[in-house]
Structure 1
Amino acid sequence: MLYAGGYTVSTAQFRPEPTEPLNANQVSTGQRFFGASPPDPADWNDLNIQQAAADHHHVVEALCQVYPGDLDAHRRQQGRHGRLPPPLLSAGRRRLGRLIRAPNSTDDRENSAYLDLLPTVGTPECHRALQVAQLPVYTDSVANQFVPHFYQSTQLGYSPVKTAHLAGLLHYPGATKPRTFVPRDIPLRYKPQAIRNVDSWVRPHGNRLMFANGATDPAVAEPFRLGLGTRDSHLFQVPGGTHTARIAQLPAADAATATLRRWAATSWQAATLRDGP
């Protein structure tokens, strides 16, 4: 299984879904510009979903020279930005299926779904406590780690944060916008076509996609939707689930896991017939 976590690669040993239910081998990958992977010199034009897909294609094709079987892909969305949209993670005959958690922000000017969901999450007491404590604090050392994250809002959008209730309290109003965290010598220009291309692929052409979203996760308030042309795919929502929702928490967890195993068995059988045992 190819695990694309969205930020830097973790050196800790862990088995996310679907590695665990499938008892599969796993390859974890980080993204360019994150952690210990910044190019030198850095050309920020290369930080885009097309390049991320190309990087993962390269990893998959290299592994296919060693392992003859097919690969499953798990794209775990991090923060607001899914870094590896589904149509760009195909590796030809080496694709098993995809378990995805990613937002679908095709119009960054329209964020009502995100803003409408926030008031429904938690209790009134929790909301009041957050409003009292909601003074954003960032240090340079922390903010610098997420410059690539905020830069990718140029393709994937960014959700606004309401601060009207903090009028007169904020020292730097508007400080949560991406421009605050990206150095001024790096241009930021929104390019909406990238995520629209992804959405326009999922609905008519998506195949073997499994979306597992948390019902209370604002990051997926604008989820991907299946269309008339989507084949053998599923859109699940974990009741009360958060940003770390798992298919094991679904009411239909057994059915979802069975689907993953069916995909794995089908691909394994095909690989055996094609490449030999």
Structure 2
Amino acid sequence: MRSRKTAALLCAALVSASTVLAGTAPAAATENADRAASDIREQLAAIPGLTLVSVADQGGYPYYTLTFTQPVDHHDPSKGTFEQRLTLWHKSTQAPMVLYTGGYGLATTTREITTLLDANQVSIEHRYFGSSRPARVGWNDLTIWQEASDEHAVVEALRTLYTAKWLGTGASKGGMTQVYHERYYPQDLDAVVAYVAPNDAVNKDDQTYEKFFASVGTPACRAALDAVQREMLLRRETMLARFEADAAAKGYTFHNLGSTDRAYEFAVLDQVWNFWQSGTVDNCPTVPDAHAATDDELWTWSLGHGLSIYQDQSDGPSGVGPYYRQAATQLGWADLKFKHLDGVRRFPDLYQPNSVLPEDMRGTYDGRAARDVDQWVRTRGERMMFIYGQNDPWSAEKFKPSKHDAYRYVAPNSNHSAVVAKLAPEDRAAAEATIRRWAAE
């Protein structure tokens, strides 16, 4: 449950952990790609439920955009179907396959382990995001098991062509999605590498997040950030006028949240989280003196460092609303206490995902699935690797790997863009060796 910047970052699937599928290939490589495209296209066309939308050359290899017919409800196929979007970067049917789940819309980037292994990659748009949805969405069918079952169907279909090792990967919500897939269908993949994947196994217990914000960075930086956040609410009337003007200029409305005042407070509550999610201690010197800063200085700095606007246009069914629905019902959220804001908050029950959703998308939390996945990963998960960032709020609640060839690494001084390449040299060498071994054995 974070900002528009956060949602954009997650939807973009953490570009710093990826390589854009682009480039001009030499003539010979293009010729080989054309031949490979022709060969694999016929085989793809023969897979039931798979439809080829387009094919392009990316880096000298065919890059397919596809759809796959999925049941709305894997428990009851009679409820209808929808078309789920995929992309496939094809190198060789004998090369490893990386299954990437971004957790949101359809990704267009390669992943770190795809490059490391010189692998193929299939990317899946999460159900009910983007255009991967039926004409009429029943939000009760947006569950982690249903999405895992979507991915299972894709893996079963493509394994008929790609017979080498399959490794799953994803970042943030995409990393969570890949962990859920592994939990429900552990025979699908040979290994999983999940980046900055939160594990809110006990939603009511947010002590880990509170400890994180009490220790991240330096005491001086933490105090300065808290002071700015408090000052933004102390100057509410002045800042709210700026907030309203900015929202009006962009055509934003706040029917879901109920008022611009509530929307403004929600945005301020997210400021410190967003600062650490995308920033580092190197940004601390930019934090203004909250008491000495003018309104203009405070507003301008906040807009560039964590203040973001939750509006109806982004938080409904066509935007990132499906994420907040999942957070409200299964994924959980950090219900921070904000003790340093005592006396300046007006809406004590505001900071939860249902607040930003239209009424028909709101749901009731059920933590059974989260607890089950957490226990399974701790005790039975095999060949799983978790990469976290030391200064990333989302990395505060981590998955704990089992003793079955499973590992967890923390990238020092890194945020929500933590990747294997940012690990300490010894950890990076060990992690890369493990991933290569998993792809070869």
TM range (shorter): 0.7 to 0.9
1:92-131 equivalence runs, <5 A = 92=187, 94-101=188-195, 102-131=197-226
* 1:150 has 2:245 as partner: no
1:221-236 equivalence runs, <5 A = 221-227=396-402, 230-236=403-409
User: Take 2:125 and 2:223, find their aligned partners in 1: how far apart are those partners?
Assistant: 37
Kept after mapping to 2: 8 A contact 1:209/1:232: yes
Change (3 A) 1:142 1:185: closer
Which of these two proteins has the greater Rg computed from alpha carbons? 2
User: Take 1:163 and 1:35, find their aligned partners in 2: how far apart are those partners?
Assistant: 34
User: Cα distance, 1:39 vs. partner?
Assistant: 2.6
Kept after mapping to 1: 8 A contact 2:209/2:393: yes
Q: Which moved more, 1:176-185 or 1:211-220?
A: 176-185
Scaled by the length of structure 2, the TM-score of the pair is: 0.55
Aligned to 1:274: none
Count the aligned residue pairs: 260
Kept after mapping to 2: 8 A contact 1:150/1:178: yes
1:257-268 equivalence runs, <5 A = 257-266=432-441
Change (3 A) 1:74 1:89: farther
Unaligned runs of 5+ in 1: 267-277
**Helix, strand or coil at the partner of 1:185:** helix
Q: 1:217 aligns with which of 392, 402, 411?
A: 392
User: Take 1:126 and 1:35, find their aligned partners in 2: how far apart are those partners?
Assistant: 38
Aligned to 2:413: 240
Aligned to 1:275: none
**Helix, strand or coil at the partner of 1:66:** coil
The residue type equivalent to 1:243 in the other structure is H
User: Cα distance, 1:84 vs. partner?
Assistant: 3.8
Aligned to 1:192: 367
Q: 2:157 aligns with which of 62, 65, 69?
A: 62
1:248-259 equivalence runs, <5 A = 248-251=421-424, 252-259=427-434
Deviations 1:179-205 (A, max 9, x none): 112222345211111011112211221
Kept after mapping to 1: 8 A contact 2:165/2:440: no
Q: Which has the higher contact order (CA 8 A, sep 6+)?
A: 1
User: Cα distance, 1:174 vs. partner?
Assistant: 3.8
Q: Which moved more, 1:123-132 or 1:147-156?
A: 123-132
More strand by share: 2
Change (3 A) 1:168 1:37: farther
User: Take 1:27 and 1:129, find their aligned partners in 2: how far apart are those partners?
Assistant: 44
**Helix, strand or coil at the partner of 2:333:** coil
User: Take 2:310 and 2:344, find their aligned partners in 1: how far apart are those partners?
Assistant: 16
Q: 1:52 aligns with which of 141, 147, 162?
A: 147
Q: Which moved more, 1:70-79 or 1:25-34?
A: 70-79
The residue type equivalent to 1:107 in the other structure is V
User: Take 2:379 and 2:223, find their aligned partners in 1: how far apart are those partners?
Assistant: 44
User: Take 2:125 and 2:343, find their aligned partners in 1: how far apart are those partners?
Assistant: 40
**Helix, strand or coil at the partner of 1:31:** coil
Kept after mapping to 1: 8 A contact 2:310/2:356: no
Change (3 A) 1:167 1:203: closer
Q: 1:140 aligns with which of 306, 312, 327?
A: 312
Aligned to 1:182: 357
User: Take 1:40 and 1:114, find their aligned partners in 2: how far apart are those partners?
Assistant: 38
Q: Which moved more, 1:125-134 or 1:94-103?
A: 125-134
The residue type equivalent to 1:241 in the other structure is S
Q: 1:9 aligns with which of 97, 103, 106?
A: 106
Aligned to 2:253: none
Aligned to 1:269: none
User: Cα distance, 1:25 vs. partner?
Assistant: 1.2
User: Take 1:104 and 1:165, find their aligned partners in 2: how far apart are those partners?
Assistant: 26
User: Cα distance, 1:17 vs. partner?
Assistant: 2.1
User: Cα distance, 1:119 vs. partner?
Assistant: 2.8
Scaled by the length of structure 1, the TM-score of the pair is: 0.84
**Helix, strand or coil at the partner of 2:375:** helix
1:24-39 equivalence runs, <5 A = 24-39=119-134
Kept after mapping to 1: 8 A contact 2:377/2:401: yes
User: Cα distance, 1:169 vs. partner?
Assistant: 5.0
Aligned to 1:273: none
User: Take 2:134 and 2:340, find their aligned partners in 1: how far apart are those partners?
Assistant: 41
More helix by share: 2
User: Take 1:262 and 1:33, find their aligned partners in 2: how far apart are those partners?
Assistant: 35
* 1:42 has 2:214 as partner: no
**Helix, strand or coil at the partner of 2:388:** strand
Kept after mapping to 2: 8 A contact 1:216/1:240: yes
User: Cα distance, 1:72 vs. partner?
Assistant: 0.7
The residue type equivalent to 1:200 in the other structure is Q
**Helix, strand or coil at the partner of 2:111:** coil
Deviations 1:150-189 (A, max 9, x none): 1112112110234444456556554331111222234521
The residue type equivalent to 1:26 in the other structure is Q
**Helix, strand or coil at the partner of 1:26:** strand
The residue type equivalent to 2:190 in the other structure is L
